[in-house]
Each structure stands twice: as structure tokens, then as C-alpha cells.
Structure 1
Amino acid sequence: MLAWVILRGPVTRKEPSLMSYALLAIGVAALLLTLNARFPRRHPLLLLPSFFSGWLSTELAPHLLVAEAAGIAATVAYGGLEGWAGWTGLALGAAGTAGTIATILRARRTVVTLRECGVPLDLDPERAPRYPLTHLIVPPLCLIPRRGVQARRNVVFHEQGRLRLKLDVYLPAEANSEEKGPRPGLMQIHGGAWIIGDKREQGLPLLNHMAAQGWVGFNVNYRLSPRATWPEHLIDLKHFLKWYREHAAEYGADPEFLCVTGGSAGGHLTAMLALTANVPEFQPGFEDVDTSVQGAVPFYGVYDLVEPGPWPVPMGATALMERMVVKKPFRHEPEAYARASPANYLREDAPPFLVVHGSHDSLIPVAEARRFVERLRATSASPVIYAEMQGGQHAFDVFPSYRTARVIEGVERYLTGLHRQYVTGARPSAPPSIPDEVSDSLG
């Protein structure tokens, strides 16, 4: 044996190259991203990194898959399989890309979820085509008005001293037809924890699609904390309702028909706006203005600031709410947080609701939406539809992903159905083709 070793020469083990370590890094990153997308972290130190990485890797999963495959292929081609690091990286990368593919397949169940929850998905023969494929491939295109859509920006809807609140209008490019009558209106409220956000950043895929289908959309700004103190945020939005009654016709919209939508803090404000119609406390100085809406679609909102439920502590007891938004100690003034909770304004004559939430939301637990829907259904005489997006993260609809496109199409058809019932004078109802036991369930 010794002679054989001497004749063969010294045994050498190939050391990993720089490309091998690069392949290992790609593999580790791919696996961590897919694990985080499937099991988001809610520990305070990991909450924001987990959310942002999960948000990107979930809603841009096809783009991530291409990047992962390209990175693995390139490093392998340039010698990345040398040594243990390369082969380990290849195995981890394969597991990560498999997880990304699973994320994509999970997103494609969105259509099934929408059908099961009661949102009508069947296209009318004369309707425009689906959400444009180009926006799914190049997401930033949603920042530009779609073909057939025009945008009028920075329209002032409320002035008081140095305060000037503005909105952007999205409407069909062609003139309104008198034969068809005024168009339905949609109000979009941005999120951002009541402290950040702007009309230029959120709701754009939805507003573009709604305008392409004949709606007039209004992306509305409001004062932000800490400069603003609750309920100034809501009062600003009520001022928009006053402006809408007076100016909707100038944009071809129906002053008597308006639905409202928004996500996160915008989802909270959407629910508050829909459930506090004509409450004098929230419209000081214009108490006689009708501030009702005909439908509400809150996305991943907060609905109860007092009862902890799915939260470790009540949302109202967090530093964000106590120091920056409501600015009152929760322990001593819980009634202030009760007045800021949509769950405390449930009523029989509430407008129809379509509540949307992601099952993997790491910022606002999905149980928050489930308990709100259950309570609202027990009180409201109007239909309450709940769509839970399997695998969906918080703010999933900011990007025009496959999931976003299907949800937007479902929202448009749901709201268009409400408008048709309004035009015909029919009472709002859930789609008749959906069995009661399905439309009444939480799933």
C-alpha cells in the first residue's frame, strides 16, 4: 500500500475557489429567502427584515427565480463547483429555487381563493382584457398611467391656512358618454403606519386597472403623524368626501356613488370611513354633509386597537400609537383608542365590505382580519366577503405581481357588481352563484 501511494504521488484535495464561495453564498441566500417567505419571523429584532425580504421574495418570486437560476448557472460555469463549498452551495441553491417555485404555485391559488370567497371572476364578453402582462414582467411600469388612462395630479381638495391637501385623479382617457351616465368613483387611501406614505406610491395598480374599466379613481393624501394627531387623519379624508360631493361631476364621476379602499393604515382608515358615516365628531364644521360610501375594500388593515386578540399587547398600547398617532396613554385613556377602532362602529346599515388579507402577513396577523369579519357579519345586513390570500405578505398589492393582478381583477368585478345594483336600485347582495355556506364562511 505504501509503495502504491509513493508511485501515485501525494493525494491532494481541491480547495474551494472564490467562485465556489460565491455559489455557496447564493445557495444560502436562496434557501433563507424561501424559508422566510414560508415562515416569516415576528420577533421584534427580525420583524422588519423578515417583512421586507419576504415581501420582495413572495410578490416578485418569478423575478427572484430568474435571478437565482442565473446566479447559480453563472457561478457553476466559472468554476463554482470546485471543492466542498461549491457542491454545498449547489444543493442549497437547488432547495431554494424549489421553494421559490412553490411560492409561485401558491400565488396561483389566488383565483381559487377569490372564487371560493364569493368574488365574481367571470369576464363579460365586452370587457377589456386582463391586467397587462407587461406590468407583471416590468413592475415599475405601474407608475405610468396605462394605455387609455389619464392622470391629473396634485389637485387640491382642502385648504385651511397653510394646509393644502392634494389628490391624484385616474380616469378613462375618452370623454364620458352621456348615454352611459356618470362613472362610479373609487377613493384610494395609502398606508404607512399613519406616519409615512404618499399618493404617488400605493394603489397604483388598482387605480390604473379601475380607470381602464371605466371608473374614476382618487388617490388621496392626508396629514401624517407625528405632526397630525388622531382623528385628524380621518377628518382630512372626510373633507375629501365633502369635496367629492361638490366636484365629482367635473371628472365625470357620480357624486352619489363612491367606494373606498386602502391598505394597512389605509385599510384601518378605509374601515373607519365606511363605518362612521355622518358621525359629527369626525366632520367638525361640515356635520350636515353626507359622508357615506357605497362599498369598502380594506386590505390588511388594523380593526381593533383595544382588544389584543392576535397581538402580544393591544395595538393601542404600542409606542407608535401612544407617542406618535393618538398621543394618549393607553392605560389611562383606553376610550380614545376605542373611538379609533373600526370594530366599535359596527352597525346594521354598514355598506358592503370585501376584506382582503394575506395568510403570511408578518406585520398585521391574519387573525386580525378574521375576527373583524366575524363581528361585522354578525352585525351588518350588507354582504361581507372575506378573501384570505394564501402565502400573501403585508402590502402584497404594491407590486403588480400575479397575485396582485388577480386580486385587482376580482376587486374590480366585485365593485362593478355593486355599481350595477346601485344603478338598478337593487339591494347589495353577494353573487347569487356562490352557495351561502361558502360566502358565509371565513375562508
Structure 2
Amino acid sequence: MPFALLAVGVTALLLTVNAHAPRYGAALAVPSFFAGWLTIELAPHLLVAEVAGIGLTAAYGGLGAWPGWVGLGAGAVGVAGTAATIVASRRTVVTLRESGAPMEIDASETRKTSRYPISHLILPPLCLIPRPGVRVHRNIVFRQEGRLRLKLDVYRPASGGDLRPGVMQIHGGAWVIGDKREQGLPLLNHLAVHGWVGFNVNYRLSPRATWPDHLIDLKHFIAWYREHAREYGADPDFLCVTGGSAGGHLAALVALTAGEAEFQPGFEDVDTSVRGAVPFYGVYDLVEPGPWPVPMGATSLMERRVVKKSFTQDTEAFAKASPVSHLRPDAPPFFVVHGSHDTLVPVAEARRFVKRLRETSHSPVVYAEMQGGQHAFDVFPSYRTARVVEAVERFLTGLHRQYAEGVRRPSVPSEITDSVDGGPVG
């Protein structure tokens, strides 16, 4: 039993060290991500498990020899680190100020309607179940050509009423894995409670699909939305887009490539513009290395599975797949979200994208950096996820209010201040 206590204690210590100082090397990035992801976003649940594991092994003879005492000491440090993770997460504040968009909501209204349910924070699997007042329509085919059948799920308010704003959710998974059933659920449920109609959309995946098939599929959804939005109570003239990781990359491209014929072959005349974009921890530049050891486009994933071209011989193809190559003054408002401890997509990737977008776009560009947040932090309905989801709802609701009131977009770039975990993020 002393060695069991040693194992429990050392595991707790390693998990907390990785959560606070994640590994970024090529060989360690993925395991560091998975360990940190679970540790950080499920920290309250992990804390209970660690205390129970240490207490039980100690009670049943774990302190009978020196390995047990070493394990107890390591475990105590690990538990303290997990507790610190919880405290940092509880301090998460996302403040939208000076954004150039009418996003201010009455404080009493916010308290009454915008809070994320605590029950989901205690039992994360509850996010898989539609919240009260939300109706879900599953596996609706939005594109069918031969054997190709692409499907989506709709999250909408159960009550009727006027046409509601729509939002498109794009899942991540490195362009090769992922499904609409797995991601964006906390956000879509929360938005539906507040009057939005959410569309969780699938698209073709590599290596079967070759870039830009992924983006073309999403443009097909927008064409479908223009025709069928009313059937689900959504306004065909108002659609925003969000997504995480590869979905964040695609969400940014959807927002920045409206009307580009290359990405909507056969339906070039369809309006594929969106009213706002909220990319989470996305990849925005495949050509310039920046925070990467080599350009993202030069990795075997992109060369062999996604774009299927040589980076050195056809760099232009990778540039066209980069959101930074499509920056435009008339870009829609953006709310970019990234975690400071992201080991899969370094946070510097978001910072440089936001800087260049603010230099080009005439619309608001909001940036929120989640201190201590890992990649894919919003998949779980953690406390941090709750605060971000609430902020996204306020941002999008502000854009819709602007649309409903017929307010024009600002003609000059806005300076944004985002307060995250109590500190300013530039």
C-alpha cells in the first residue's frame, strides 16, 4: 500500500505541474494537452478524486513505509496545485468594452438570464442533454450529391415567435476527425436558451477530402441556410459563425471569404457573408512559422492529408488556406478566444492574427485570452467555459441588436480591452 500511495501522490503532482507549466515540444505537446485539458477543466472533480485516493491509501496502510510518506508529500503539493487551478478558473472574467458594437446589457437582465447553469458545472455530461426550453432536430441533410450526405443538428428555442438570429457551429479535429455531436454543445444550448437558433454542421474530413472541400461544404450550408432558415425559426439574413481549433480556422475563413467564387463553385451568386465570427483557438497562418518550429503548412498533416501539396513547391495553395491572406476592411466583427496554456496551437498564433485583423478591419475585433486555459477548454462545461459562453452570448446578442436597429458598423478600427482572470489582455 505505501507504493500505491506513492503512485497516487506522484500522479497528482505530475498532473498539476503539467497544468501550470505545459510541455510544448513536438513529442510532448499531445500528451501534455490531454493531461492538462482534463486536469484544468475538470479540476474540481479531480480534486475530489485526489483527496479520496490519498486518504484511502493512507488509511489502509499507506504510511507504513517511507514510499508512502513521499507519496503523501507529493500528493499534498499536487492537491494544492489543483486547488490553485480552481481558484484561477473562478477568477475568469471576460469584459467587453470599447468594442464599437452595442454589446452592453442591463446588469439586472444579465443576472436574470445570462448565467450558465451550475448543475452543468457539477455534472458535465448534462451538456449532452438539451436544456429546458431547447428543442433539437438531429441529422438534417443540408447537402446531398451522389453518395455524399452532409448533416447538421439544429438547437432552437422550443417556443415560437419572430424569426431569430442564427449561428453556425463548426467542429474541430485537425481537419481529419470530429463530429457535430461532440463540440460546441455548451455554447449552442446556452444560445438557444437566449433566443438563438444554432446549426451544428458536419463537413467532409481529410484524407478523403482535399482542401478546400472543407470550406466549400460550409459555404453550401450557408446557401442551404438562406433557403431553409425560416423552417427552423431563424432569420435567413442574419447568421454568425463559430468553431474551435480546425473549426476556428474554418470559421475565420467563412467570415473572411464571402463571395469568393473559388470557394463556392456552382453557386457563386449566393450571399455567403456572415454577421459576426467567434473563432476559438484556431490556426490562422499556415505560411509564416511565428510560434511554430516550422510553418503549419509544412507539417506532414497539412502536406499529406489536408492540402495534399508540397509546401515548398506550392506555397500559394497554403496561403489561400490561411485566414490572414483574406483580411479585408469590410470583414465582419470578430471575437477571438484562446487559452494562454494551449500546447497544440500556441497563443501567439491568436495574438498575431488579432493584431493584423485590427490593422485591416473596420469592424470591432475583440480578443479574450483565457489565463491558464488549454486547447479545447470549452468542450467541458467548466467554470471558465461558463464565463466564456456568457460573454459570447453577450457579444452576439449585441451584434443582433445592432442589426435589428439598423445601426451601421464603425468606419474605423476599434481599440479593445478584454479583462481575463482580472488582468488586461492587449
Normalising by structure 1, we get a TM-score of 0.91
- 1:282 alignment partner in structure 2: 263
- The number of residue pairs the alignment matches comes to 416
- 1:12 alignment partner in structure 2: none
The CA deviation at 1:134 is 1.1
- 1:11 alignment partner in structure 2: none
Which residue of 228, 238, 252 corresponds with 1:257?
Answer: 238
- 2:73 alignment partner in structure 1: 91
- Determine if contact 1:167/1:221 at 8 Å carries over to the other structure: yes
Task: Tell me, yes or no, if structure 1 residue 320 matches structure 2 residue 304.
Answer: no
SS at match of 1:260: strand
The CA deviation at 1:21 is 1.1
- 1:153 alignment partner in structure 2: 138
The CA deviation at 1:22 is 1.0
- 1:243 alignment partner in structure 2: 224
Matches within 5 A, 1:66-85: 66-85=48-67
Task: Tell me, yes or no, if structure 1 residue 200 matches structure 2 residue 181.
Answer: yes
Distance 2:105 2:186 in 1: 18
For 2:345, the aligned partner's letter is I
Moved more, 226-235 or 68-77: 68-77
- 1:7 alignment partner in structure 2: none
- 1:58 alignment partner in structure 2: 40
**1:302-346 CA distances to partner (integer Å, 9 max, x unpaired)?**
000000001000000000000000000000000000000000000
Distance 2:97 2:7 in 1: 41
Distance 1:125 1:343 in 2: 37
Q: Which runs of 5+ in 2 are unaligned?
A: none
**1:173-215 CA distances to partner (integer Å, 9 max, x unpaired)?**
112x2xxx31000100000000000000000010000001110
Larger Rg: 1
Question: Kindly tell me: are residues 38 and 120 of structure 1, through their superposed partners in 2, closer, same or farther at Cα, counting changes over 3 Å?
Answer: farther
Q: Which runs of 5+ in 1 are unaligned?
A: 1-18
The CA deviation at 1:437 is 6.6
The CA deviation at 1:438 is 2.8
The CA deviation at 1:168 is 0.1
Moved more, 398-407 or 79-88: 79-88
Which residue of 362, 372, 382 corresponds with 2:353?
Answer: 372
The CA deviation at 1:128 is 2.4
Distance 1:48 1:276 in 2: 31
Task: Tell me, yes or no, if structure 1 residue 343 matches structure 2 residue 343.
Answer: no
Which residue of 101, 121, 125 corresponds with 2:109?
Answer: 125
Distance 1:257 1:271 in 2: 17
Task: Tell me, yes or no, if structure 1 residue 422 matches structure 2 residue 403.
Answer: yes
- Determine if contact 1:358/1:391 at 8 Å carries over to the other structure: yes
The one of the two structures with greater contact order (alpha-carbon pairs below 8 A, sep at least 6) is 2
Which residue of 89, 97, 106 corresponds with 2:88?
Answer: 106
Root-mean-square deviation (CA), in Å?
1.8
Distance 1:322 1:67 in 2: 42
For 2:69, the aligned partner's letter is W
Normalising by structure 2, we get a TM-score of 0.94
Question: Kindly tell me: are residues 122 and 59 of structure 1, through their superposed partners in 2, closer, same or farther at Cα, counting changes over 3 Å?
Answer: farther
Task: Tell me, yes or no, if structure 1 residue 223 matches structure 2 residue 204.
Answer: yes
The CA deviation at 1:442 is 4.8
- 1:167 alignment partner in structure 2: 152
SS at match of 2:178: coil
Distance 2:295 2:114 in 1: 44
- 2:20 alignment partner in structure 1: 38
- Determine if contact 2:98/2:415 at 8 Å carries over to the other structure: no
Which residue of 7, 20, 28 corresponds with 1:25?
Answer: 7
Identity in percent: 71
Distance 1:27 1:219 in 2: 41
**1:87-129 CA distances to partner (integer Å, 9 max, x unpaired)?**
1111111100110011111112321x44579675764528525
The CA deviation at 1:73 is 1.1
Distance 2:308 2:270 in 1: 28
